[in-house]
Amino acid sequence: MPPPALEHHSEDRISVRGEPFRVYIDRDRIRSRVEELGERISRDYRDQRPILIGVLNGAYIFLADLMRAISIDCEVDFMKLSSYGAEKISSGSVRSLKEIDADITGRHVIIVEDIVDTGLSMEYILDTLSRERPASMQVATMLHKAAATKVDLELRYVGFEIDNLFVVGYGLDYGQVGRNLKDIFILDASV
C-alpha cells in the first residue's frame, strides 16, 4: 500500500505526498492579517462597490475570508488558469481555463490570488483584464515570494512576504492535496 497523501505527524509537522512540511504561518496570524487587509480595502474603496476576481482554484479560501472581512458592498467573480499540476516548480506557461462572466468595464477590480511566485500568472491576468477597460485594477495576494518574482508588478495588498520555498494549505495544494489545511505549511528542507 502506498503511504496516504496527507499524514499528520504532530501538531506542526505533516507529510504531503511523502514530503515533509512544517507550520509556517498559523491560522491565528492568517486570520488577523486577513482582517487587516479587509479593513484597508473597506477604507480604500468606500462608496465604490469593488468587484473581487478570485483566481481558481487556490484563492478560494482566502477570497471567502477576505470578502467577509470587507465591510463595504462588493461583488465577486472567478477566473481559472492552468496550474502546476503535481509539480512544485512554476511551469512559466499560463493558459486560461475559465474566463470571468462579469462585465468589468468601468468597474473597480481587485484580483484575489493565493500566491505570486514568478509573477507570470499575475502579469497574464493583468494584461487580459486590462483589455476590458476597468476603472481601476489592484491585486490582493495572500502570499508573495519576492525572491522568485521575475516581472515588475504592483501588489497593493499582500498578506505575507515569504521565503522562496513551496507551501501548502489554506487553499494551496500539492497535486490537489492539502488545500483544506487551516495553517500554511512550508516544505521542510531540514528533514
Which residues are tagged catalytic?
Answer: 117
- Cα of 14 vs its chain's centroid, Å: 21
Binding pattern to ligand 5GP, positions 116-155, x when CB under 6 A?
A: xxxxxxx---------------------------------
Amino acid at 78: F
Can you tell me the distance from the alpha carbon of 72 to that of 130, in angstroms, rounded to the nearest whole number? 24
The beta strand positions in 38-165, using DSSP E, are: 51-56, 75-81, 96-98, 108-116, 136-144, 157-161
Q: Would you count residue 58 as binding ligand 5GP (CB under 6 A)?
A: yes
User: Given candidates 113, 139, 181, 184, which one binds ligand 5GP under the rule CB under 6 A?
Assistant: 113
Give the residue from 45, 1, 36, 42 showing the smallest Cα distance to 160: 36
Of residues 45 and 54, the one with the C-beta less far from ligand 5GP: 54
Nearer to ligand 5GP, 45 or 140 (CB): 140
Please say which residue, 72 or 153, places its beta carbon nearer to ligand 5GP: 153
CA distance 66 to 69: 5
- Contact between 63 and ligand 5GP by CB under 6 A: the answer reads no
By the rule CB under 6 A, 171 interacts with ligand 5GP: no
Nearest 5°: CA angle at 61, between 182 and 142? 90
3 state DSSP class of 29: helix
If the CB atoms of residues 36 and 87 are measured against ligand 5GP, the closer one turns out to be 87
Rule CB under 6 A: say whether 157 interacts with ligand 5GP.
Answer: no
Q: Is 115 in the site for ligand 5GP (CB under 6 A)?
A: yes
Site for ligand 5GP (CB under 6 A): how many residues?
Answer: 20
Rounded Cα gap, residues 167 and 74, in angstroms: 29
Binding-site ranges for ligand 5GP (CB under 6 A): 58, 83-84, 90, 113-122, 166-168, 172-174
